[in-house]
């Protein structure tokens, strides 16, 4: 009689295990694709190409975060609604609270992802139509970040701008002619201004 009950329990557990493996495989694939695009920025020769690769890589990494959150939401939903392991009500309430926090993080990631995607897509359309800004700006501050990254954040009189790599060193307190995409403030060309 005992062997029969173990066999009945084995099928739902295998089904849950298959679902877990599917979630993990999707997460691994998304991380690999996103990381590949972001790492490929190191080999980009054009600032616009680096901008597009960064957008694609970031989109895949955001999709990874959403998949990870949905992984937890699925399991929390299963525990709260079906409770297959027969967990006490007090523990189910703790899972429900954890589910609420996970849902808040998921909503934040969705809103952030769509906002950033809309900005980047608008800038890609502007680049295609030749609608970019060209201004002579004074550099007030520069942040180059950690060594493996080539991304440079430049503070100018117009605000903070992103440069994916430097063709030449940019110095604080000097003026440069920046060609940039207006919505994301991504620099696509830098020229020295000689007096």
pLDDT of 194 over the 80 cut: no
CATH for 133-192? 2.40.50
Please give the average per-residue pLDDT across 17-30, as a whole number: 93
Q: Which helix (DSSP H) or strand (DSSP E) does residue 177 occupy?
A: strand 175-181
From CA 102, how far away is CA 123, in angstroms rounded?
A: 31
Q: Shortest CA distance to 153 belongs to which of 115, 185, 122, 183?
A: 185
Question: Are residues 154 and 139 in contact, defined by beta-carbon separation less than 8 angstroms?
Answer: yes
pLDDT at 184 over 80: yes
Domain residue extents for the chain: 2-128, 133-192
Encode pLDDT of 86-143 as tens digits.
888 888 899 899 999 999 999 999 999 999 999 999 988 988 888 888 999 989 999 8
37-86 pLDDT per residue, tens: 988 887 888 888 888 898 999 999 999 999 999 999 998 998 888 877 78
For residue 57, give the nearest of 32, 28, 25 by alpha carbon.
32
Beta bridge partners of 162: 153, 186
């Amino acid at each position: 009689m005992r062997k029969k009950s173990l066999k009945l329990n084995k099928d739902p557990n295998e089904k849950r295990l298959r679902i877990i493996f599917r979630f993990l495989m999707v997460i691994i694939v998304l991380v690999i694709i996103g990381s590949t695009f972001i790492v490929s920025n190191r080999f980009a020769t054009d600032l616009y190409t680096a901008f597009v690769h960064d957008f694609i890589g970031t989109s895949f990494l955001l999709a990874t975060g959403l998949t990870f959150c949905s992984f937890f939401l699925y399991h929390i939903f299963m525990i709260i609604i079906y409770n297959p392991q027969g967990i006490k009500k007090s523990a189910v309430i703790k899972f429900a609270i954890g589910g609420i926090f996970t849902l808040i993080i998921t909503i934040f990631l969705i809103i952030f992802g769509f906002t950033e995607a809309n900005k980047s897509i608008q800038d890609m359309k502007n680049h295609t139509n030749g609608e970019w800004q060209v201004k002579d700006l004074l550099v007030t501050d520069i942040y180059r970040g950690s060594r493996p990254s080539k991304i440079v954040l430049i503070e100018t009189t117009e605000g903070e701008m992103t440069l994916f790599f430097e063709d030449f060193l940019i110095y604080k307190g000097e003026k440069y002619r920046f060609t940039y995409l207006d919505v994301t403030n991504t620099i696509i060309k830098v020229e020295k201004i000689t007096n």
